[in-house]
Structure 1
C-alpha cells in the first residue's frame, strides 16, 4: 500500500514539473479544434435536418424541421404504398451492383497491364487515358444518346450501367496503375521463377495487394449511380425503368405541389446501402499492405 502511494506521489510530482505548452501552441490547438467543430456542424446539421424532415408531419418545405413535433412514419409508408419507390430502388441497386463489379474488374485488369507489361502503344494509351479523364461525362451526352439509339440500348438499365463503367474507367485505370506501380515487382519475379503464369501472379499475388484501392473504387462506383441524374434522365424513358434519382426529383420539381418531406424520407433510405457498404469495407481501406509482404 505504501509503495502504491509513493508511486502516485511521484507521478503527481512529475506532472507538476512538466513544462506547460507554449502559448502559441495552445492557441493553435484551440483554433484547430474550433475549426473542426465548425466543419462538423456544417456537415452534420444538413444531415440531421433531412432526417428530421423525413419524420415531420406535412409535405411542404416549410413543414420540415430538424427536431419535429409529432414525428410520424407516414412519409416512409407512403413511399412504398403511393409511389413506385421500391421499383426505383431495385433499379438503382441493379445499376450500382453492375457498375461496381464491372468497374472493379476492368480497372484492376487495365491497371495491372499498364503497370507491369511493356507493349507497343503503352505510352499512347496512358496519354489517351489521361486526356479522357479530363472531360466530364455530360459533354458526351449527345454522342452517347445517338450511340445507344443505333444499338437499341435506350431505356435499358444494363446500358446505363455500361455507360457509367466506361465513363469512370479512365480515372479508375489511372488510379490502379499508380497504385500497382508502388507494389514491389520482386514478388512478381519470385513467383515467375517458381513457374507461376502471368494470370496466377495477378490473381494470387497482385490482386490481394490491390485490396485498399479496389475497395475505394468499389465504394465510389457503387455510390455514383445512386446520385446520378443526367444520364438516367437522358437514357431512360419508361416509368418502370426510372432510378431513385429520377423518382425523387419528380416529387419536388413542381413548385405548387411538392412532397419535400416524402423526398427526405426517400433520401434517408437511399443512404442506407452506401453507409452499410462503407462500414463493411472500411477495414480494407488500409494502405501499406505491400510493405509487410516485402519484408516477409
Structure 2
C-alpha cells in the first residue's frame, strides 16, 4: 500500500468518526427544535419535522399565564453575577499565587488541586445548613455564593497557568516607575489576561443556565426558580407532561449563551490554548 492510498484511508476514517460524533451531538438538538414547533404536547406524538407547524408554545411562554420570563430573569441574574464575580475573585486569587511568595503557597495550590477532585454536591448538606443559618436559603443570593465559592479552585489553577506566562519583567518595570500592587494588577496584568478571563466568564455564565441539581436543592419558591428548575416542572407534573413547551423553553436558553460567546469569541481560542501551559 503506497503512502497516497494510506493517507486517503486515514482521512476517510477521520471524516467518518467526525460525522458519527456530529450525528450524536446534533440529532438531539434537531429533535428538540423540531419538537418545539409541534402543536401537540406529547413526546410520542411529536416528530422531528413538524406535521403542523406552530408557534403556540413560544407564544405561551411569553404569556401572562407562564412564569417563564421570571425564571429567565432569575437565571440571567445568577449567571451574570456568577460570571462577573468569578472573574474578579479568580483574577485576584490567581494573581496572588502567580506573583507572590508567601507561607502556605505551595500547600494552597495542592489544596486547590485536591478540591477539584470532589464535586460541590458532596458538601451540599453543609452548604444547606450554612445558608439556612445565614437566612439565605431559597434566595438567589445564596445560590450565587455557592457558585462563586465552588468555582475558585479550578479557575484559579486555570488563570494562574496563564499569568505565569506573562513576563515578570513587566511588573518590575512598572514598579520602577512607581506603580503599586493594584496599579500593576489593573494596568499590566488584567489587559494581558483578557483571553483567559473571557474563558472564565463564559464558563461561569453557562453553568447556572444549565444546572438543575443545585438550584433544585437551594430554591423552593416558584418565584425564585431558575430556568432549569422551572422547565423541569413542565415534564415532572403528572397532570401537565408538556414536552413541547419544555423543548421551546430549552431552545430559548441558547440565546444569551450565544450572545456572550459571540461577544467574547475573539479571546476564547487563545485563552483555552494558553490556560494550561504552566502550573
TM over 0.5, shorter chain: yes
User: Deviation per CA, 1:141-200, whole angstroms, max 9, x where unpaired?
Assistant: 100000011111111101101110101111111111111112211211222222221211
- Which has more radius of gyration? 1
Matched, 1:46 2:28: yes
> Which segment is superposed worse, 61-70 or 101-110?
61-70
CA apart distance, 1:39: 1.5
Match of 2:58 among 56, 76, 89: 76
Query: Residue 33 of structure 1 corresponds to which residue in structure 2?
Result: 15
Q: CA-atom RMSD, angstroms?
A: 1.6
- The count of corresponding residues between Structure 1 and Structure 2 is 270
Query: Residue 8 of structure 1 corresponds to which residue in structure 2?
Result: none
In 2, Cα distance between the equivalents of 1:218 and 1:42? 28
In 1, Cα distance between the equivalents of 2:24 and 2:37? 21
Query: Residue 142 of structure 2 corresponds to which residue in structure 1?
Result: 159
Query: Residue 139 of structure 1 corresponds to which residue in structure 2?
Result: 122
Query: Residue 101 of structure 2 corresponds to which residue in structure 1?
Result: 118
Match of 2:153 among 157, 161, 170: 170
Matched, 1:100 2:100: no
> Which segment is superposed worse, 255-264 or 135-144?
255-264
In 2, Cα distance between the equivalents of 1:22 and 1:254? 60
In 1, Cα distance between the equivalents of 2:157 and 2:193? 13
In 1, Cα distance between the equivalents of 2:167 and 2:46? 54
Matched, 1:247 2:230: yes
In 2, Cα distance between the equivalents of 1:59 and 1:88? 21
Match of 2:263 among 236, 257, 280: 280
Where do 4+ consecutive residues of structure 1 move more than 2 Å? 254-257
In 1, Cα distance between the equivalents of 2:15 and 2:76? 39
User: Deviation per CA, 1:259-280, whole angstroms, max 9, x where unpaired?
Assistant: 0000000001111101111111
CA apart distance, 1:112: 0.6
**Alignment map for 1:174-213 (pairs within 5 Å):** 174-213=157-196
In 1, Cα distance between the equivalents of 2:204 and 2:57? 29
**Alignment map for 1:212-223 (pairs within 5 Å):** 212-223=195-206
CA apart distance, 1:101: 0.6
Distance change in 2, residues 1:23/1:255 (3 Å): farther
In 2, Cα distance between the equivalents of 1:160 and 1:144? 10
Gaps (5+ residues) in structure 2? 275-279
In 2, Cα distance between the equivalents of 1:124 and 1:196? 30
> Which segment is superposed worse, 252-261 or 28-37?
252-261
Distance change in 2, residues 1:254/1:240 (3 Å): closer
